[in-house]
Amino acid sequence: MLTVLVTGLAMGALYAAAALAYNVMYSTSKVLSVTTGHIFMLSGVAAAFLIGELKMHWSIGLLGALAVSLVFGLLTEIVAIRRVLARSDEHLWLLSTLALATIVQQAVGLWWGTEPKPFPRLIAQDFTAGPWDQKYWLPIAAVVLITVALELFYRRTLFGKIFIAVSEDPFAARARGIATDRVRAASYAIAGLIGGVAGFAAAQLTYAYFALGLSLTLNGFIALAVGGLGSNSGALVGGVLLGLLTSVATYYFGGAYQQTIAVGLLMAFLLLKPEGLFGNKKARLV
């Protein structure tokens, strides 16, 4: 039972990280990118390639994974978001990010293969560890690290304050001389970093798998919708809640309906409390 809870917490941490990445991108661009999960997938695959295939030290693997996911985050903004937002057609960003996500997923599938490959261990194997195994606490630690770093960044640095200004009111921020386009690009790079750290830390749990992106995109979004769009604490709570729920449900009912349970949670929240646990109700401007 302890293993079930710890697995749930670890998966929940991963979902929470995805929800945080959504939040960072959403705050500056008001876009929910379908490529969010693929950032995590790319990080895991890149690290598995560097450490597992090329036999490099794990620190180089981490750096490589971070670089790849950061570049991909930036690429998302440059390729799929910038032009579409400039044209300001409402739904097109969904199609462009979906297209980019498919391209990346299939490219990884073609290059890396479509089978899940195990991720190399970072610390020497300890079979007695049980639920205290590194594959469980690493993602949890990574998410704690990401959350603290994000909070410090937003509250303590000038650049973080600029981010908040842009997310509150992009026009006013622009009027005060902030290059909102550059801030938006930077937010996608930060989302890439989040995905890089969390994807690397969780890769022992998820394996390096090309189709991980799509399910993480969906589950991260469920965590976000449960917690409340735009709220970082909501993202954490929603992610952990979702992870625990699916893990416990898998324990009792078997793994066949994992996604169904997650989606049931999403639907229940969207129908009963559409703004999420920590989101604030906003009157829509007409």
Binding site for another protein (CB under 8 A): 32, 79-80, 83-84, 87, 89-92, 94-96, 98-103, 105-107, 110, 214-215, 218, 221-222, 225, 256-260, 262-263, 266-267, 270-271, 274, 286
C-alpha to C-alpha distance for 37 and 216, rounded to whole angstroms: 5
Question: Are residues 165 and 184 in contact, defined by beta-carbon separation less than 8 angstroms?
Answer: no
Query: Minimal distance in Å, beta carbon 238 to another protein?
Result: 14
The nearer residue to another protein, 4 or 92, going by C-beta atoms, is: 92
The nearer residue to another protein, 62 or 223, going by C-beta atoms, is: 223
- Nearest residue to 181 via CA among 51, 53, 81, 260: 81
The nearer residue to another protein, 119 or 210, going by C-beta atoms, is: 210
| Neighbouring C-alpha atoms within 13 Å toward the C-beta of 215 | 11
Which amino acid, 130? G
Which amino acid, 249? A
The nearer residue to another protein, 145 or 267, going by C-beta atoms, is: 267
The nearer residue to another protein, 7 or 258, going by C-beta atoms, is: 258
Query: Minimal distance in Å, beta carbon 144 to another protein?
Result: 27
Query: Minimal distance in Å, beta carbon 242 to another protein?
Result: 12
Query: Minimal distance in Å, beta carbon 210 to another protein?
Result: 11
Query: Minimal distance in Å, beta carbon 188 to another protein?
Result: 16
C-alpha to C-alpha distance for 283 and 286, rounded to whole angstroms: 9
Query: Minimal distance in Å, beta carbon 107 to another protein?
Result: 6
Q: Which two tokens stand for residue 276?
A: 């999420």
The nearer residue to another protein, 94 or 248, going by C-beta atoms, is: 94
- Nearest residue to 69 via CA among 29, 32, 17: 17
Torsion angles phi and psi, residue 123, rounded to 5: -115, 150
Alpha-helical (H) ranges within the chain are 2-29, 36-47, 58-75, 82-87, 92-112, 134-156, 158-168, 170-175, 180-206, 212-227, 232-253, 258-272
